Structure 1
Amino acid sequence: MLLFPGMTALDVVGPHEILAGLAPGSLHLVAKEAGPVASDAGLTLTATADLETCPRDLDVLFVPGGDGTPDQMRDAATLAFLRDRAGRTAWVTSVCTGSLILGAAGLLDGYRATSHWCVRDTVLPLLGAVPIDERVVFDRNRVTAAGISAGLDFALALAARLRGGDYARTSQLVAEYAPRPPFDAGRPASAGPAITHAAGAILAPLVAGAMRAAQDR
């Protein structure tokens, strides 16, 4: 699981909670340097390996998103790491704007993929991907998920592929993942124009930065 400054912590923590049980002790949190890495909301996660010490052969390569996405889309060392590991990885995956980082590494060219709604239909196609408006999208060995909270859906869907449906259902029950949100505002269509406009204003710097990074490739 890649960590980088400005990642969204929930992109990592949700999938980590589900996937860590698949093979205890074999999940690596990887960053350019081992040690603390601050998220975009200030929560710090700890990288246990760096780009060199991360195992070369992986079952799953995972990339989160977050406000730091545009910088990662331009980071030569990170993109080289992803390209190298992806060639020997069973599943190449992302949550939220992590798909833009995969795309910047050339790993989604011609693949159906999703991302956070704010960039899915505008930035993702610039990176060679075919945008799909779904919570989780599988295309061959690429698995991408929509924004932030979709990380739990992604992890359960992937766990089912790796260990079977009963394992995934058990993990879902252990996590008591039975969402009943107090508002029907998780998608622009249901949130309405005013709320979508307000959310878009918050996300505008990320969108603009990601657009520039994609166009500069």
Structure 2
Amino acid sequence: MTVTEQISSLSIGIVLFPDVTQLDFTGPYEVFAKLPKAQLYLLAETLEPIPSDCGLTFLPDTTFAQAPALDVLFVPGGPGINAKMEDEKFLGFLKTQGKQARYVTSVCTGSLLLAAAGLLQGYCATTHWLSLDLLEMLGVKTVAQRVVIDRNRITGSGVTAGIDFGLALAAELFGEALAQAIQLRIEYNPQPPFNSGSPQTAPAAVLARVIDASHNVQEIRRQIVQRVVTQLQTANK
């Protein structure tokens, strides 16, 4: 019996919030939509339009209250995670779904939300390179890889890694042949014009420029993470 034959249906929930980074979830969505027997849910607290961090607007189709039990819980990242890391109702939804989901997953800084909900303790994970230290603050063992699979936790690094993550999940669910077929269908054959897509390969001046431009945002997020860490420590006493 093939892996595909073993799956009668597959519910995938994509959690949205204001100021989400659209490519974090639209890349994986392109892959998810091509999986057999998959039902995709765009989840949010209400059905009001969700603005992305770059101005695109998305319409959720299912509220948290209406969400079914999910086989795959998927959380993207973006500037909007700052507010959600301290949103108990939002984190409560992640906790409830994460406890029973077959796979708990994220791309980019979505892993910080999973960690804030207590869903990455004891697992290895990744996130956007600028936030790896913040994920470590939350008690997670970080791995600076494009996609990290640790049992039923699958996390992708920053933004464009969403497609890699989606294909890795497809392979976990249905085998490599189907994942490769999806990769070919979407012609995912990256040939970037510059070798500056990671802090290891970017020219020093480019790296310094990005770090400097991100400094204030990262410091604000660091303060939020520290408060979350304190809350988690208090709750675990």
TM-score by length of 2: 0.88
Q: 1:63 aligns with which of 75, 88, 103?
A: 75
| Equivalent residue number for residue 90 of structure 1 | 102
Structure 1: gaps (5+ residues): none
- Asked if 1:200 is matched to 2:211, the reply is yes
Q: Deviations over 1:158-211 (max 9, x none)?
A: 001111111101100010000000000001121122111221233334422321
| Equivalent residue number for residue 35 of structure 2 | 22
Moved over 4 A (4+): none
Q: Distance in 1 between matches of 2:108 and 2:52?
A: 14
| Equivalent residue number for residue 130 of structure 1 | 141
- Asked if 1:139 is matched to 2:138, the reply is no
CA contact 2:196–2:202 (8 Å) conserved in 1: yes
Q: Distance in 1 between matches of 2:181 and 2:110?
A: 27
| Equivalent residue number for residue 11 of structure 2 | none
CA RMSD of aligned residues (A): 1.2
State the identity %. 44
Q: Secondary structure at the match of 2:40?
A: coil
Question: C-alpha displacement at 1:85, in angstroms?
Answer: 0.3
1:12 is aligned with what amino acid? Answer: F
| Equivalent residue number for residue 160 of structure 1 | 171
| Equivalent residue number for residue 186 of structure 1 | 197
Q: Distance in 2 between matches of 1:214 and 1:110?
A: 18
Q: 1:168 to 1:25 in 2, by over 3 A?
A: closer
CA contact 1:70–1:206 (8 Å) conserved in 2: no
Structure 2: gaps (5+ residues): 1-13, 229-237
Larger deviation: 19-28 or 137-146? 19-28
Q: Deviations over 1:77-114 (max 9, x none)?
A: 11000000011100000000000000110111121010
1:176 is aligned with what amino acid? Answer: E
Aligned length: 215
Structure label with greater radius of gyration: 2
CA contact 1:64–1:96 (8 Å) conserved in 2: yes
